[in-house]
Structures are given as structure tokens and as C-alpha cells.
Structure 1
Amino acid sequence: MASQNPLDISTRFSQLPSAFFTAVKPQPLVNTRWMAWNASLATQLGLPHFAPTDDLKHQLVGEAEHPLFSPLAMKYAGHQFGSYNPDLGDGRGLLLCELSDSTGTVFDLHLKGAGLTPYSRMGDGRAVIRSTIREYLCSEAMAGLGIATTRALGMLASDTPVYREKQEFGALLLRVAESHIRFGHFEHFFYSDQLAELSLLADKVIEWYWPELSSAEQPYAAMFQQVVNNTALMIAQWQAAGFCHGVMNTDNMSILGQTFDYGPFAFLDDYDPNYICNHSDYQGRYAFNQQPRIALWNLSALGHALSPLIENKQIEAALGQFEPLLQQYYSQHMRAKLGLHNTLAEDGELFVTLFELLEQAKPDYPRFMRGLANIDKDGEQAVIDLFIDRPAATAWLNRYLARCALERDEEGMAVPADERCRKMRMVNPKYVLRNYLLQNAIDKAEQGDYADIEQLARVLAAPFDEHPEDEMLAQLPPAWGKGMEISCSS
């Protein structure tokens, strides 16, 4: 790092052999302007808390060269809807550099929508305002929920026309992630028989992200076990939060187990385990209730790609841990959401009957969970009124409250309802990024009004708080906004 530069910049990925990437300069858009700037994340990375202008802005968006940036497009492959595709890579985004925050954690700074690369295939290398807003706000919403995710430093609109189903305008997203390495990176080197590069990539993942594993008896096997663990935790978080990713291809799976590549995602409105949020997913491969199974499928694909480095029995042993880990993490999250921290024999049946009730009645999932957390303030009727079959809801709720009465603290004392509910409100959000809220923000932003983006970002950074001035954002979705199917097109 140059001593006169205030940022702690590195370009470690660009030091890898040429098989890993192609150096590409960003192709500027016309008349770029800020739609949003993430002040808290910027401060963490040593950047100004206000949206930069002039020199730094021009460098961040590729309108001018930064002396310490080394923009590059990564090469990877992946299984897309179950079929292997060798012709993938960064087709519209560039890794600019890595930045270290005040704790020494290193983050990739990635410019999405930067133009054509050798991996663009038939695409134009651009992103549009619509998809950029979706990724910016959802990554911040996931961070607010405490779910492992990439982040977004800022986003910009432009006057450059981009053609999808209709003419839209180009946009840029400054994505921040601890890593942009995907399962598909390992698949690329495995299937192209570049085994030295495969080994080097594994070495770098251990060195950069889990250096403590280098002293393990089998470092590569330990690395794979870490990926399995992190992925199980991420999927458990998704399922508990009612989050649907929409396109769980292996090239969209982060090696660190962080939510990555936001496309046709959705949070559940009405509880429907079969919900498909991606209108291109004709077979329901990536339906909400299929996400755990697909995560294991993807981990198996990664394990196969690592087979030159890890014995098959070790791969199988790690994969065998996925479902127990997923169940463990999911149980922890759901118990916290229901305020049940003790483990009793009858709990299994209580959970079974809960999900039977939810699947049959399909109440609004976020409102139901928050309603349970607010029983001390709003009463039982507010929960019961979410159901058409009120007798069935009442019967389950009575059973649940009787179980809550058996909760004991560390000293063996009964847990008061208000204390239980207070803790439940810390894990059951009042505010969820519903697709209709996103669509409203997108419609306004395309007319140059970014106020909804700012409001949503502020509220979703603290989704468990009351925010009485923003109460309208907690309303149930209108009929047109329920169960929206979203396009992959961006």
C-alpha cells in the first residue's frame, strides 16, 4: 500500500496465475449518479461516510483508474439447474481490489455491471436499476437479520440504455464480500484437469480464510468440513427466516457459506413450503422446501471436484454431517423464535403440529412469528385472527402457551411471559423486505426518487426494532404483492 493512500488496499487474487482470471478494465456508464451509499459499511472500510464525489467516485466506478486497483474477471464454472456448464465466469462484474477494515478482516471490492468480459457469453455485461436495488437492499436486510451474506457499499444509476424484456437503464453495484470464491471455481479446475491450480486454490482458501486449518492432519478435508458446516448454518438461517434464494446453482454458492448472488429471491409472505420465487424454475428445483436438499447436492458436487485432494471416505463423512448440522442449527433458530430454550420430550410433537397448521392454513409467516413474540402486548387474538380456521389456531396456541409455562431459567425459576416475549422480539423481525416493498422502491427509483431506498435500508438494518415512524413498512402485502415470481433477468 502506498503510504499516502488512506485505504488499506491489496490485490492478492491478481497475484494468482493467469488461469484464475482475466484482467479487464471497467467500461464506464453515462452520467452515473449515486442511488445509495452505505455509510456504516464505508466507515468500517475506511471510506468516507458520505457518498464520494470526483476522484474517488470516478475510480470506484471505473471512470478513472485507481493506481492500486487491479480489476479482473474471475473464471469459474458450475452446475446450473443440475447441468454442468464450463463456460461461466464474471460476465458483468470485476474484482477491483481487496480492502482491510479496522479489525484486519479483508474484503473484496467488486463492481457489478462493469461491462463486457471474456465470460459474458451472449450477455451485455450490464446490470439494471431494478436488479441492483434488489441486491443492495436484500444484502443489507440479510445482514440486519444476522444471516451470513455479502454486502453492498453503494449503487449508482446511469443514462446508459440496457435492453431486457424492455429498455431499462444501466446501474452499478459496489459489492463487498469476504470472498467471491464459489463452488464453481473448484469445479472449473477439476473438470478442466488443472489439478495444480485446484490444489493452489484450496491452499489459498485455507491461507486466507481458515489459517488455523493448515495445522490439521488433513487440511483439505478440514477445509471441506468447514464448508459443509458453514453451508448448513446458512441454510438453517434461510429456512428459519423464510428466505427463498431462487437460483442455488453451484456458481452461486459461496465457499464461505455466505448468501451470494441475489437474483429472483423472496421472503415468504403466506407460509407455503412449496413456494417457487423464480419464474424460470419450471420444475421447482429451487422451491423453498427444496433448499436443504439442493445445498447437500451442491456440496456433493464440490466434494467431487475436491476428490483429487481428499479421500472419498473423508468426503462422504463430511457430507454425512450436513443433515445433522442443519437440524441442529435449524432447531436452535426455531427454538429461539418460539422462546423455547429448554428441551422437553413433547417439543417434537409441538413443532410437527405447528408446521402442519402453517402449511394447511398458510398465514403470513413473518406476521405470525412476530405475533407470537407480541402476545404479552397484543394478546392471543391478534395471532388467532391470522387464521381462517380459528379453532385449530386456538387449539395449537393453547398448547404452545402451556408449553411456554414450563420454561425455566438457569436458576430453575419460571420465565415470565414478558421476558420470553422480549427475547423473541430480538429474533422475530417486525420488518421484512417483502417483494412489493422492493417493487415500490424500484418504481420510484426509475423516476429518480431514491427516498424509499434510504428508508428501507435504514429500517432493515434494525428489523427487530419498532420504528413507529415507519409503521407502514410492516403492513401485510396487498393482494398483488403476495407470492410474486421474479425474473432472473438483470
Structure 2
Amino acid sequence: MESAVESPPAVELGRRWETGFAALGAAFYTELAPTPLAAPYPVSLNTPLVTALGLDAAQLAGDAGVQALAGSLPFAGSRPVATVYSGHQFGVWAGQLGDGRAILLGELETPLGPQELQLKGAGRTPYSRMGDGRAVLRSSIREYLGSEAMQGLGIPTTRALSVVGSPQPVRREEIETAAVVLRTAPSFIRFGHFEHFAAREQLGELRELADYVITRFYPECLATERLAGNRYAAFLEQVSERTAAMVAQWQAVGFCHGVMNTDNMSILGLTIDYGPFQFLDAFVPGHICNHSDESGRYAFNRQPNVAYWNLYCLGQALLPLIGDQELALAALESYKTVFPRELEGRMRDKLGVVGEREGDRELVEGILQQLAAGRVDYPIFWRRLSRFVAGASVEPVRDLFPDREGFDGWLRQYEERLPDDRPTAGRAMLRTNPKYVLRNHLCELAIRQAKLMDMSEVEALLRLVQSPFDEHPAHEDKAGFPPDWAAHIEISCSS
């Protein structure tokens, strides 16, 4: 008599799983388990986030925990699914896409509220489109650190709980090794989820999805008086405003997303899908961080307009529910108001000026022109300016500019605008302008070490980006100018 094959033991997280996205039904996803990862090993565990979610760091760091974080053991009570969506990629309709290498484990009740847990790099799904469903160590470390860097800067983002690596080979431009990231967010729903059902004229599913998102995340739209009381128009307006505020934060801090396809846009206004992202070194407004972006569609200075274009696509998808094109256009108008207001406010904070006055816009534009003309290092300029306002010498700031006369002219206008209590303004600036940003070369060095099974640089960077405004005297080298070779780092959509 044959003995029964025992199922692998499930890892119990000690928190309740909710139905969440899975309540929407089979039209929205395919149920499937992650594909086990060969010989997984820990790369990094984000202990502060683990603790904030009410989970046991020691358990997740143990052998069974690492297996579960790799997708090789199940979490007890989870119901893994891969979701379906469509989207525009580089401005072209791409049709059906979906979670080609991501598997949503489910929604967990946590002290931070309900959080979806998603494995990225967990194997093939029905939406992999000839892909292998895997992520590589290089891109996994970048996403892990990138999302936590944005969190440390106070920018809305998905987050990352862990990275687990494997010697399993993965073919990209060259043979690399596999890895899995466990990501968390209140929801991973994207603009593309709505585009999918609208394009297929599945209006019942479109309405079901919209009602789910509104009820869960935008309940104020249910009984709104805005936009003729139309909940779907009010929803579009709210998404537009959240997206506008997020992109304003990107521009202020010098963040380039790199691949702002509609399927990479969060319905909650979160930064999502850290592929070929970059924080600016030199201030080059037209900088293209994605080596795959041959047309420069997603250049840094084009991001605000691309975000609006993506929202317009979302508006088209929601139009069957809104029922009135003029109402949909009115809902999108809020982006044009909120984005400049938010960006101007962020830039005033960076400058340490209080209130809004005539001439502020010219003051901001003036320094951005100076920065661009001199290709001045963006993070270092703002940090040095903060120290100057707090009481340090102005010379380290002046030294950054080839055109010192031009900078001095701007400086005279700036000093007239500063408040009388400059030390207080400077201290506020030091809590606004980070000392540490996740530059490409820092990521590259951490990745090189991790490939040699040395995770110390990953851990060091994680701690720095989680508190980027602090001094961290032992890591001064990571706050300096990038080396010359950093300009030759190429990042692309391949991961």
C-alpha cells in the first residue's frame, strides 16, 4: 500500500488573513501557488517593517521563514493568486498583461491596517507572456532598497519586507541568479486593472472593481456632492489628486521612475514597480534613466505630463461608469491644480521659506536653471544650502556652480526671502533635504557585494535610506559625489 504524500508544513504568521481582492471572483485572477525557489538563502529582512506589521522577525529569519519568503513553503491561511490587467506600455496599447512574475498571497490584518502581501519573482503565471516568471538578485535588491528609500523620504510607496536569493540561474542580457522580494501595500491594484475590463467591454466586472476600490479606499466618494454626486467621477478626481501629489514629491526630490506605463500606476497614488528607477545625481531635467527608453518618453521632466496622460487613460476606462465625458474631463482637471500647488509647496519647503509670496515661482525657477546650467549635483546642493541657512559658510554652496556670478545674483534674492530666524529655517531644511539618497552607484556596490554573499552593504544602505535626514557620521562616504564610473551604469526594464 502506497503511503500518502505529506503536504509541506505551512508557516503560521499569527495574524488573520482577510478575503480582500480574492472576493472579486475568478474573472479578476487565477489561483496558483508560487513555484519553489531552489536553495533559497536570506539576503535581507526589513526588521522595522516586520515589527510594524506585527510579525515575528525571528520566525521569518529561520529556515522555514526563509523558505516561505521565497515561495517554497506556504503561509498558513494564505490564498495565492495572480491578477489580470492590461495597459499602455510606452504609450502603446499592449493588451492583456497581468502579474507575470508576481503572486498575491492575500490580505493580512496588521497594526498598520489591512496589507496585501505579494511575492515578486515567484515563478510563471498565466500572464507571464513567454517570460520565466522570475526576478534577478540585482533588480530585487534595487526594488527592496528603492521602496524603503521612498518610505524614508515620506513619499507614498509600496514597501518591501524581504529579499531572498537563490543560485538558480536566470537568463537576461547575461546569466544572473534568481531572487524573490516580498512586497506589501494596502492594495496593488493599478490603472491597468480598470483598462482591462473596459477594453473587453466587461462592464459588470468594471463596475464591481470600481465599487470594491471605492468602498475600501475612497469611501468619501460614496456620498459625495462633488461632480454632480457621481461616485465614479469623484473617484477619478481623488485618484488624480493623489497621483498629482505623489509626482510632485518625485520631482522635488529628483526621483526618476523610468517606466511609467499605465500598468505601473497605483490606483492609490503609491510609487509602485521599481524597475529602472534612479535618483538624480547632476540636475539634468531631461535625464533618461531607463536604457530601454529610446524615445525619452519617461525622461525626468516629462513625468508630470505622462502621469496626466495615464490618468486620462484611466478616465477613458471609467467613462462607461461615469456616463458623461464632460464630467470625466472635469474630474481630471484637479490634476492641473494640485500638481503645481504641491510642487511649489515642496520647493518652498526645500528653500526654507515660509508662506506663499509673489516671486516665489521665479525664485524656484531661477535656482533650477542655475542647477541645470552647471549640471550641479542635486542632493548635495540642497543639503549644503540647508547647512548654510542653518549657519554654515556659503562657500561650499558657491563652489558647486561654474557660474558663480549667476549664483550670487540668485543668492541675493533668496536671502531677502528667508525668514528672520534663519537657524530655525535651516534646521527645518535639514529635515526636508536628505543627506543620503539611494544613488545608482551605491546600489551597484551593494549588489556586487551581495553576489559574493556579503550582505553588509545592503544592510548598511537599508538603515541609511530609512533615516536619510540623519547625519550617520560613520557613512560620510555615502553622502559624497558619485564616482566617474557611475555615469556609465545602465539600467533597463530587464529584471
**Is it true that 1:397 corresponds to 2:414 in the alignment?**
no
User: Quick one: which amino acid aligns to residue 87 of structure 2?
Assistant: G
Q: Deviations over 1:312-371 (max 9, x none)?
A: 112111111211110010011100000111222232322222222122111001111111
1:149 aligned partner: 157
Equivalent position to 2:259, from 247, 257, 262: 247
1:317 aligned partner: 330
Q: Deviations over 1:121-141 (max 9, x none)?
A: 111000000000000000000
Q: Deviations over 1:128-187 (max 9, x none)?
A: 000000000000000000000000000101011111111111000000011110000000
| Identity score, percent | 48
Equivalent position to 2:216, from 208, 215, 224: 208
Equivalent position to 1:71, from 80, 83, 88: 80
1:397, distance to aligned residue in structure 2 (A): 1.6
**Is it true that 1:190 corresponds to 2:198 in the alignment?**
yes
1:366–1:428 CA contact under 8 A, matched in 2: yes
User: Quick one: which amino acid aligns to residue 119 of structure 1?
Assistant: Y
1:429–1:464 CA contact under 8 A, matched in 2: yes
Equivalents in 2 of 1:66, 1:452: separation in Å?
Answer: 29
Unaligned runs of 5+ in 1: 408-413
**Is it true that 1:471 corresponds to 2:484 in the alignment?**
no
Q: Deviations over 1:15-65 (max 9, x none)?
A: 222110011111111110110101111112121134432334333432223
1:290 aligned partner: 302
Three-state SS of the structure 1 residue aligned to 2:84 is strand
Equivalent position to 2:51, from 40, 43, 68: 43
1:263, distance to aligned residue in structure 2 (A): 0.5
**Is it true that 1:338 corresponds to 2:351 in the alignment?**
yes
Map residues 55-454 of structure 1 onto 2, 5 A cutoff: 55-103=64-112, 105-216=113-224, 217-310=229-322, 311-375=324-388, 376-404=390-418, 407=419, 414=420, 416-454=421-459
Equivalents in 1 of 2:425, 2:53: separation in Å?
Answer: 37
Q: Deviations over 1:351-403 (max 9, x none)?
A: 22222212211100111111110003431101000111122122212221122
When the two structures are aligned, how many residues end up with a matched partner? 478
1:194, distance to aligned residue in structure 2 (A): 0.6
**Is it true that 1:29 corresponds to 2:17 in the alignment?**
no
1:215, distance to aligned residue in structure 2 (A): 2.0
Q: Deviations over 1:216-245 (max 9, x none)?
A: 232211111110010000100000000000
Three-state SS of the structure 1 residue aligned to 2:319 is coil
1:277–1:483 CA contact under 8 A, matched in 2: no
2:8 aligned partner: none
1:66, distance to aligned residue in structure 2 (A): 3.0
Equivalents in 1 of 2:282, 2:163: separation in Å?
Answer: 31
Equivalents in 1 of 2:350, 2:137: separation in Å?
Answer: 35
Three-state SS of the structure 1 residue aligned to 2:236 is helix
The normalised TM-score by structure 1 is 0.95
1:265, distance to aligned residue in structure 2 (A): 0.5
Deviates more, 1:345-354 or 1:438-447: 345-354
Equivalents in 2 of 1:56, 1:436: separation in Å?
Answer: 31
User: Quick one: which amino acid aligns to residue 373 of structure 1?
Assistant: S
1:110, distance to aligned residue in structure 2 (A): 0.2
Three-state SS of the structure 2 residue aligned to 1:349 is helix
2:463 aligned partner: 458
Three-state SS of the structure 2 residue aligned to 1:306 is helix
Q: Deviations over 1:255-305 (max 9, x none)?
A: 001000000011111100000000111111000000000000000000000
Deviates more, 1:60-69 or 1:376-385: 60-69
2:236–2:332 CA contact under 8 A, matched in 1: no
2:69–2:162 CA contact under 8 A, matched in 1: no
Once superposed, which parts of structure 1, at least 4 consecutive aligned residues long, lie more than 4 Å away? none
Three-state SS of the structure 2 residue aligned to 1:152 is strand
Three-state SS of the structure 1 residue aligned to 2:330 is helix
Unaligned runs of 5+ in 2: 1-11
1:411 aligned partner: none
Three-state SS of the structure 2 residue aligned to 1:89 is coil
The normalised TM-score by structure 2 is 0.94
1:309, distance to aligned residue in structure 2 (A): 0.6
Three-state SS of the structure 2 residue aligned to 1:307 is helix
Equivalents in 2 of 1:56, 1:352: separation in Å?
Answer: 51
Three-state SS of the structure 2 residue aligned to 1:378 is coil
1:5, distance to aligned residue in structure 2 (A): 6.3
1:29–1:159 CA contact under 8 A, matched in 2: no
Deviates more, 1:345-354 or 1:75-84: 345-354
